[in-house]
């Protein structure tokens, strides 16, 4: 068993979530609408903003960020 930080085991797969999410966001920015993650993340952002508009305490920008973040997470870790 080695201590190679690039090695992905089942136990430490979550350590790389932030790195993977940043790489995915950069790829989305470079490729634009042709990237397969852009549309689901945009739909998640829109649904989050609408849902937040219906809630009494949460404002739509918070809902937008949460919805987009959740869909990005689901794209990185299905």
pLDDT tens-digit series, residues 31-66: 988 989 999 999 999 999 999 988 888 898 999 999
For the segment 9-36, the average pLDDT, to the nearest whole number, is 81
For residue 72, what are its two tokens?
């990005």
Q: Residue 28, Cβ neighbours under 10 Å: how many?
A: 19
Mean pLDDT estimate for the chain: 84
pLDDT value at 77 more than 90: no
The rounded distance, in Å, linking the Cα atoms of 4 and 68 is 32
């Amino acid at each position: 068993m080695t201590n190679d930080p690039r090695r992905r085991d089942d136990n430490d797969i979550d350590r790389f979530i932030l790195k993977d999410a940043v790489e995915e966001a950069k790829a989305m920015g470079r490729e634009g609408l042709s990237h397969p993650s852009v549309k689901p993340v945009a739909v998640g952002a829109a649904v989050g903003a609408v849902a937040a508009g219906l809630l009494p305490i949460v404002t739509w920008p918070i809902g937008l960020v949460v919805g987009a973040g959740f869909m990005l997470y689901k794209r990185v870790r299905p």
